[in-house]
Chain A
Amino acid sequence: MRLVRSEFLKIRTTNVWWLFALGAVGLLVVAFAINALNMHFGVLQPPVEAGQNMDPEQAAVLSALAEPVALTSYMVTSGQYFGLMFVMLLGIITVTNEFHHQTATTTFLATPHRTSVIVAKAVAGGVFGIVLWLVTTAVTVPATAIFLDAEGITPALGDGEVIRAVLLNGLAYALWALIGIGIGVLIRSQIGATITAMVVYTVGTAAVSIIVNVLTAWLNWEWLANVQWAMPSLASSLMTSGTSLPGQPDYWVGALVLVGWAVVTGLVGTLLTRSRDVS
């Protein structure tokens, strides 16, 4: 417990946490606006000509998205993409700071049991993620209600599947801290770790998605399309999608994939930290 307090103090006594929180909330506003425009022009009031040359599969996805439950889940979990990235970056920095500023020695002198140090970092990072999720949700819930009202749709905020999506969104915010910690242990250089993680998170996610879709269309292997859900970022959005959309696995597949990633990165990080010489 005192280790967790120490880790919180580490986060609190530098500028990183509020810069990240500010960035995440700022990008949340942008993300919500983009999602709202997307829904308005793409799903709820699509231009007439768009409907004519759309293949039936795509039309099915759109009409499924137009259901109040799917729509509400989609809007209320806005900002996830950037929010998760900031939580991951914070996780990375809690570890790489120790090497960058050579404080690993001090930390492990105070606590020779290194597993506890990683656990404490995971708890502190997870709590940061959950606080960010709370703030995000406190913004998106009223914003979603106002937006859907304006579109003439009754927001399904009390629906069980929406609540599930919101809660799972919180889990994603917490777990991404652990993924960040694992990355930080693997790549000890602060700049190296943050840049690698951000490139993989943004460009990598899009690249895998495109490659998989191209291969699927080219080889005509339907099952291949499901490979992209193994990416932790796509798994996170899958698990908060509320209702299952056509052509997508169920939400729990996303949850399992994400938990799997967090467990693997956390374990690898812990084992490496335990065996490594600190010099």
Chain B
Amino acid sequence: MTATGAMVTEIAMAGLATTTHTVRMGNVITDGEIVVSGLTKHYKQVKAVDGLSFAIKPGRVTGFLGPNGAGKTTTLRMILNLVSPTAGTATIGGSRYADLAEPLRAVGAVLEASSAHKGRTGRNHLRVICAAAGLPASRADEAMELVGLTPAAKRKFKGYSLGMRQRLGIAAAMLGDPRVLILDEPANGLDPEGIRWMRDLLQKLAGEGRTILVSSHLLSEMELLADDVVIIAAGRLVAQGAVADVIGNAGSAGTVRVRTPHPDTLLEALAGVASSRDDGALVLTGVTAEQVGDAALRAGVAIHGLVTERPDLERVFLDLTAGKEAIR
């Protein structure tokens, strides 16, 4: 945990450094860093979010992870000025959301899939937003095209499938061509093809230098999608950093699983390596597969199977959030 703590401070300091040379003109953001500091939301009974601080860097996809009820949605809504924090601040490019001159041109958000009037067509839904944001109505058609909804543009929202609704939400978020994109559980309701489409889109958008913050509880999907992760549980920060670092820092080091007819001979050749036996295989800690292979060759022992096992995000996530009750 100390390692994680140090990493958080480091990123917070980096955030401080960038804001000093960020050029701001009337709260139009030129840098899409999201900085959350001491963010807290108390409801009557529950501390939904409790002194949360983190920073999200531009040009990367950041996964925002936590068990159900960890405070992910409340945090995102506080960043977007939809829920007022009990304490703390959240800024995007140095400005609070409410102070942004043209919020939709700075930030796009996808918060819930079923958010359009049932009797309105998808295109008209986008046009209403364009009108409110002072964007030309033609942006509605462009955004429809971007998410592949053009054939359904004139259909009413109630006829949309869950996947189409999710795409419409992403289209709405992209209307203002924002530098920052915030998505709450965007994979919900998407089929495998849709999930792949979204992953490619988000990675492309991050590649263009945008800030992408995606909340999810689908860990395997996050491992494929995210560059960085922020993990929270019970309203508090648990870990933050690059995916590989978070996995590496979690303490559960990699293991090598080897199958051989002569385990004892192999262990002698690998003197001093910690080992355990599992289902007829040797599980070795603190060695690489190459070292095990070389040792086997020297000892003249046959190898029937040799597998490197790295802990994945899911393992780390469960370790980190264990004991933090989801339902409070």
Contacts and interface: CB of A to CB of B under 8 A. Distances in A.
A147 B137 CA distance: 49
A105 interface: yes
A109 B172 CA distance: 11
A122 to B, nearest CB: 16
Interface in A83-105: 97, 101-103, 105
Interface in B66-105: 73-74, 77, 80-84, 97-98, 100, 103-104
Interface in A71-120: 97, 101-103, 105-113
Nearest to B82: A278
A10 B114 CA distance: 17
B131 interface: yes
A109 to B, nearest CB: 6
A49 interface: no
A57 interface: no
B112 A112 contact: no
Interface string B114-130: 11111111001001110
Contact of A13 (B74, B81, B124): B124
A6 interface: yes
Nearest to B104: A110
Contacts of B73: 279
A102 B116 CA distance: 7
Contacts of B172: 106
Contacts of A5: 131
A10 B117 CA distance: 9
A103 B82 contact: no
Contacts of A106: 115-116, 129, 172
B171 to A, nearest CB: 12
Contacts of B121: 13
A131 interface: no
B134 interface: yes
B80 A109 contact: yes
Contact of B128 (A13, A15, A109, A277): A13
Contacts of B98: 112-113
A59 to B, nearest CB: 53
A103 B114 CA distance: 9
Contacts of B80: 109
Contacts of A10: 117, 120, 128
B83 A279 contact: yes
B81 A110 contact: no
Contacts of B133: 2, 110
Nearest to B98: A112
A9 interface: yes
A102 B112 contact: yes
B6 interface: no
Given A9-B127, A109-B104, A14 B115 contact: no
A162 B178 CA distance: 55
A9 B116 contact: no
A97 B98 CA distance: 23
7 contacts: A14-B117, A15-B119, A105-B111, A110-B104, A110-B132, A110-B133, A277-B84
Given A109-B80, A113-B98, A278-B83, 17 more contacts: A2-B133, A5-B131, A9-B124, A10-B120, A14-B119, A14-B120, A101-B114, A101-B118, A106-B116, A109-B104, A110-B103, A111-B103, A112-B81, A112-B97, A278-B82, A279-B74, A279-B77
